Chain A
Amino acid sequence: LSARAPMSPLDFHVLLVLTEDALYGYAIMKSLGEETRGALAPEIGSLYRVLARLVSWGLVEQVEGADEVAEEAHPGRKRKYYALTAAGDRALREEAARLEDALELARSRGLVAEGGG
């Protein structure tokens, strides 16, 4: 997997969104918008392409969720939830470390204010 790095910012953020909890499609879209302050806000159609890609790489898996909210909003319909796999967790950590290194490099060249910001 490390051969694939660096991963795209969108992939990275989708994985990041899923670290806390498994989420369903629309919730991922909403969290992405919030966590990136609107910088990465794919529409539903594009988001599912990303999800499909991450599933096919084994970084994310579909899980069934006991979902009362979905039952209420769209009766008779079950939402699929998306969860980080162990491989996904690993890939995320590797990518975060890579970004950390890159940031350190940028900082050493005076491109970033000391101490982040």
Chain B
Amino acid sequence: MHALARAFARAVLRSLLALYPRPFRDRFGTDLETALDDRLDVVWRRSTVRALACSARVALDLASAGILERLRPAFRAPSATDASTIRSRRGSPMSTLLRDIRFALRSLSRRPAFTLVALFTLALGIGASTAVFTVVDGVLLQPLPFPDSDELVIVWAFDTDVGRARGWMSQPDIDDVRRLPTVAGVEGIMTTGTSVTGVERPERIEVARSTGGLLDLLGIPPQLGRDLDQADNDPESARVVVISHGFWQSRLGGDPDVIGTTLELDERVWEIVGVAPEGFGFPEGVSVWQPYRLDVGDGCGRGCHVYEGAIVRLSDGTNLALAQESLDGLAAALGEEYPDWNIDKGFWLEPLLDYQVGDVRTGLWVVLGAVGLVLLIVCANTANLLLVRASTRGREVAVRAALGASGKRLFVQVVTESLLLAGLGGAIGLGLALGLLEGIRVLAADRVPRMAEVGLDLNMLLALVALTLSVALIFGLSPAVHLARRGGAHNLLGGARGGARSAGSRIRSLLLAGEVAFSVVLLVGSGLLLRSLDELYDVDLGFDGARVTRFTLSLPYARYDELATIVPFYRDLEQRLFDHPAVESTGSVYGAPLAGGNISGTVLVEGRPEPAPGEETGASMRPVTPGYFGTMGMTLLRGRGIEPTDETGTEPVAVVNETFVTRNFPGEDVIGARIRVTASFGYGSPYWRVVGVVADVRRSLSGEPTAEVYPPHAQYGPGFMTVHVRARPGSGSLAYLIRDEVESMDPNLVLRGVETVEEAKHRDTASTRLFLTLLTIFAGVAVVLASVGLYGVVAFLVAQRTREIGIRMALGAGRANVTRLVLRQGLAPTLLGVLAGVGIALQGGQVIRSLLFRVEPSDPLVLIVVSALVVSVATCATLLPARRATRVDPTQALNVE
């Protein structure tokens, strides 16, 4: 790929040398070639895409320098007489250029159909590929906007017997990582929602809680004041925060004396010590950075995994492998020292950029590939159009050659025409690219990270113009060379009688087959994604979310710090909602399906020895209120559900799910067993008696069910719950009702994530739908372009063969005969293309495997439907000119010319 791209770039650059005037080339040409090779040697040490972009810049410069050099009176030392003789003989180069442009414009406007189709095709190809290139460049290729961002990684904890996952870390874990020589700095971080309170309208904002200053770690100086530091993380120290530029501007009116003022968050007062600079948003969407202020001594030690991950800046001279090695060493040492907490626990690091864009990387590359194929189709189409045009122009060229135009002049004129076409196409393409970029921005909002950093920049413009130039030159040059070489003598006499068997016809057929093949590949891709989406929507989640609206509440710890305050709050809230006539039932859960939040631990069974290291099984905790199972329509398989009588003081009980039973009690009766899970919210985690078994539910459409334990909320907490409300059939939206009730209970609370379960399901398919939409758009464009190309070429062939068809019909050939003759012309390359396309799709299907769900890349249904679709579209595109052929009047056809 790299070598091929390099050879391509070299060929394009070489061909651009033709733009310099001949005397210049005679003197400097070979040396310039060597210098270009020197330049390419350096450029192509980088990644393919970067190198291509850089080569485009070289190409642009070369083309403009060549043209400018041509416009200079003469590059030899000009004596006055010399210059004037040149001028009088040839006209000034400037006027020649203007004449060429005028001539090209006239010639293009004489054939509006050709010009419009060519412009449309070029604009589409250039516009679409520029837009997608810009997105890919901005999201995947540009380094993160921090100094030395390649030193930044995230460290995650994981269970070595389960495999690498993005597991959470404890404060002592992070302190140990900090001591490694390979680590220059580290801060643990977790994001959460917090309410801005003490104001008229409380507002929910995203905050990042960390062990210290993230700005300092990332190398961004604060705009005002200072960053947090590790001393602020001491629970005894003053409460201080750093606020984002946006928060400062919108909430605090950009007050220049903001440092030292206070802010009430979750009913506690924090002093503002710093303001982040404009544009700084890490993690994305965070308005306030605050220290976690964990009390490690008091309960939240090694087993208290509260940090989502640790942002690490590696020391100078360290690489990822060395850093990973030191983390492995640390994990092993901790496992020996603290077997209770750190046995079988590993750490792994992931480059920060990978973490931010990892989820969309494959998808974006696939879309870039798709748009690349569309561009290839555009090139093939343009080449075909220009080839067709060149052969119809044979006569005109011959006349002009006979009247004294030199081969060079004819050549320059054809090149001018191609450049003009490409330039206009590029200009329209620029508009299209801007529109598309906006469209992608809307489609991709919230689904693709870093979209805020993507925007029209110089690189994109340069890439656009360079792309235009190379498309024009590659395809403008071949007909131009063809024409200039022939000079055209025989055409003057021969007319267009050559018929279809000319040398160009094989190239045309191959180009057509290629277009068809690429269209097939794109259609197969979008077909596979469509089937995946279908499968995703077909997944039985194990619950019935119809008419269920839900929202999440996080009770501030300051006022709700024990079960005695938390439990009655949720009980009252559910009762108030239930009393409303539009409500059928209510129930709450921590860690709702299709949403965030999860707490899990190791399963212990009373009466069994503790599992040996490596043999533990895990389970997730899902504390629920009594109405939850009923509200979500979950199936109770055995025993009973959670009842209102399962109170804080009564015997601890729990319901488990099917997967829990198969993992921990295969072939045994689980009802009555006493189990414990080593995870809690700080309100204790006793042995629970299992009283019932419910059917599995899935947490996401593409995930598998996990083992789950449902204790009563009244016995377990926490203050952070997702309340589900099922409406009676026929009642409208519950959102207002919910808001009113919550506000009447506690006006300082902020509702989060008010949505229906159906909406949550829709959101879960968002990235599949995004890539499906983009791929389908480009597949559609590809089919349209390939059909236009097919139609154009077949129509041209019919026109060329009018005479031949006339003779055939005069000799007795029927209409069916003629139709078959023409159809064969169009369908032969189509079939070849379909076969090739299916072959490529089968080979290349692995690329998008990670985007598919329960669909194989070789899905026969998709392959058959796509092939049939393409063949029928191609037949239609061929039938139109075929019908025209059958209406040829033999006598007229023979009298042509």
A: which residues have CB within 8 A of B? 24-26, 29, 42-49, 51-53, 55-58, 62, 70, 73-74, 77, 79-80
Contact at B61–A46, with CB atoms within 8 Å? yes
Distance (whole angstroms) from the CB of A74 to the closest CB of chain B: 6
Distance (whole angstroms) from the CB of A11 to the closest CB of chain B: 14
* B residues in contact with A77, CB < 8 Å: 30, 34, 37
Distance (whole angstroms) from the CB of B265 to the closest CB of chain A: 46
Tell me, in angstroms, the Cα distance from A24 to B38 when the chains sit together. 10
Contact at B66–A52, with CB atoms within 8 Å? no
Instruction: Add 15 more A-B contacts to A45-B63, A45-B66, A48-B32 (CB < 8 A).
Output: A24-B31, A24-B35, A26-B35, A43-B61, A43-B62, A45-B64, A46-B64, A46-B65, A49-B65, A51-B28, A52-B24, A52-B28, A53-B75, A57-B77, A62-B31
Interchain Cβ contacts under 8 Å between A and B, 16 examples: A24-B38, A25-B34, A25-B35, A42-B61, A43-B57, A43-B61, A43-B62, A44-B36, A44-B61, A45-B64, A48-B28, A48-B32, A49-B69, A52-B75, A56-B76, A79-B34
* Chain B 688-706 near chain A by CB (<8 Å), digits 1 or 0: 0000000000000000000
* B residues in contact with A55, CB < 8 Å: 27
* Chain B 31-58 near chain A by CB (<8 Å), digits 1 or 0: 1101111110100000000000000011
Distance (whole angstroms) from the CB of B501 to the closest CB of chain A: 42
Contact at A29–B39, with CB atoms within 8 Å? yes
Contact at A56–B75, with CB atoms within 8 Å? yes
* B residues in contact with A62, CB < 8 Å: 31
Tell me, in angstroms, the Cα distance from A25 to B42 when the chains sit together. 14
Distance (whole angstroms) from the CB of A33 to the closest CB of chain B: 11
Name the residue in B31, B36, B37 with the highest tally of chain A Cβ atoms < 10 Å from its Cβ: B31
B: which residues have CB within 8 A of A? 16, 24, 27-28, 30-32, 34-39, 41, 57-58, 61-66, 68-69, 75-77
* A residues in contact with B62, CB < 8 Å: 43-45
Contact at B69–A52, with CB atoms within 8 Å? yes
* B residues in contact with A48, CB < 8 Å: 28, 31-32, 35, 65
Contact at B77–A56, with CB atoms within 8 Å? yes
* B residues in contact with A53, CB < 8 Å: 75
* B residues in contact with A58, CB < 8 Å: 77
Q: Which residue of A lies closest to B68 (CB)?
A: A49
Tell me, in angstroms, the Cα distance from A74 to B36 when the chains sit together. 11
Tell me, in angstroms, the Cα distance from A45 to B27 when the chains sit together. 14
Known A43-B57, A51-B28: A74·B37 in contact at CB below 8 Å? yes
Known A25-B31, A25-B32, A79-B31: A43·B58 in contact at CB below 8 Å? yes
Q: Which residue of A lies closest to B23 (CB)?
A: A52
Distance (whole angstroms) from the CB of A57 to the closest CB of chain B: 7
Distance (whole angstroms) from the CB of A79 to the closest CB of chain B: 5
* B residues in contact with A46, CB < 8 Å: 61, 64-65
* B residues in contact with A44, CB < 8 Å: 32, 35-36, 39, 58, 61-62
Tell me, in angstroms, the Cα distance from A62 to B75 when the chains sit together. 15
Tell me, in angstroms, the Cα distance from A57 to B74 when the chains sit together. 12
* A residues in contact with B37, CB < 8 Å: 73-74, 77
Q: Which residue of A lies closest to B33 (CB)?
A: A77
Tell me, in angstroms, the Cα distance from A29 to B57 when the chains sit together. 15
Tell me, in angstroms, the Cα distance from A44 to B68 when the chains sit together. 14
Distance (whole angstroms) from the CB of A82 to the closest CB of chain B: 9
* A residues in contact with B35, CB < 8 Å: 24-26, 29, 44, 47-48, 79
Tell me, in angstroms, the Cα distance from A114 to B194 when the chains sit together. 57
Distance (whole angstroms) from the CB of B26 to the closest CB of chain A: 11
Tell me, in angstroms, the Cα distance from A24 to B76 when the chains sit together. 21
Tell me, in angstroms, the Cα distance from A58 to B36 when the chains sit together. 24
Tell me, in angstroms, the Cα distance from A44 to B36 when the chains sit together. 7
Tell me, in angstroms, the Cα distance from A48 to B39 when the chains sit together. 13
Contact at B58–A45, with CB atoms within 8 Å? yes
* B residues in contact with A51, CB < 8 Å: 28
Tell me, in angstroms, the Cα distance from A62 to B65 when the chains sit together. 20
* B residues in contact with A49, CB < 8 Å: 65, 68-69
Distance (whole angstroms) from the CB of A24 to the closest CB of chain B: 7
Known A26-B39, A56-B77, A73-B41: A80·B31 in contact at CB below 8 Å? yes
Tell me, in angstroms, the Cα distance from A48 to B68 when the chains sit together. 12
Known A44-B32, A48-B32, A57-B77: A25·B38 in contact at CB below 8 Å? yes
* A residues in contact with B68, CB < 8 Å: 49
Contact at B38–A26, with CB atoms within 8 Å? yes
Distance (whole angstroms) from the CB of B791 to the closest CB of chain A: 40
Tell me, in angstroms, the Cα distance from A59 to B75 when the chains sit together. 14
Tell me, in angstroms, the Cα distance from A56 to B24 when the chains sit together. 11
